[in-house]
Amino acid sequence: MNIEYTGRHTTVTAKQKAQAAAGLTRIGEMIGGACSAHVILTVDKYRQMAEISVLCKGQTLVANCEGTDMEAALHDALAKLEQQWVRHNQKTTTMKRHPKGIGMRDTVLEQVDIAV
């Protein structure tokens, strides 16, 4: 996974890079395939903001979080990305497992044939 870091009004420390890389590696394993990520860390007076965008397989996942501590904001953004991917994955598997051609009438007829 290609990871690009941007620090706005702050410098990105090695600890923050390691935290982001570990979380994005876990997300990358879930996604599978080639992905790229952009991590933007911003400081605005007392607010610490983390924005992460992941581009993969035609799907874009974006998470914005803020807090008083940068590590906490980064952790929350990674958790949101993971939730987004799980939600997206559940939607696609639900659509694949229930084709449009099978209706309620067809299932009732199959059950009657089996019972007889």
Domain of residue 91, CATH code: 3.30.160.100
Model confidence at 116, pLDDT cuts 50, 70, 90, reads low
> Would you call 15 helix, strand, or coil by DSSP?
helix
Look at residue 104 and tell me whether its pLDDT is greater than 80.
no
| Distances, alpha carbon 84 to alpha carbons 7, 60, 73, 110, in Å | 24, 10, 17, 37
Angle between helix axes 14-31 and 70-97 (nearest 10 degrees) is 10
Structural domain including 90 reads 2-115
Model confidence at 99, pLDDT cuts 50, 70, 90, reads low
- Count the Cβ atoms, other than its own, within 10 Å of residue 66: 16
**Residue 70: what pLDDT?**
94
Question: Both tokens of residue 9?
Answer: 């009004």
**Residue 108: what pLDDT?**
55
Task: Give the Cα separation of 84 and 63 in Å (integer).
Answer: 9
pLDDT in tens, 32-91: 878 899 999 999 999 999 999 999 877 899 999 999 999 999 999 999 999 999 998 888
**H/E element, 95:** helix 70-97
- This prediction has a pTM of 0.78
Say which range, 4-18, 35-49, 69-83, 100-114, has the weakest mean pLDDT: 100-114
Taking a C-beta distance cutoff of 8 angstroms, is the pair 10, 42 a contact? Answer: yes
Task: Give the Cα separation of 30 and 115 in Å (integer).
Answer: 42
Based on the structure, what is the number of domains in the chain? 1
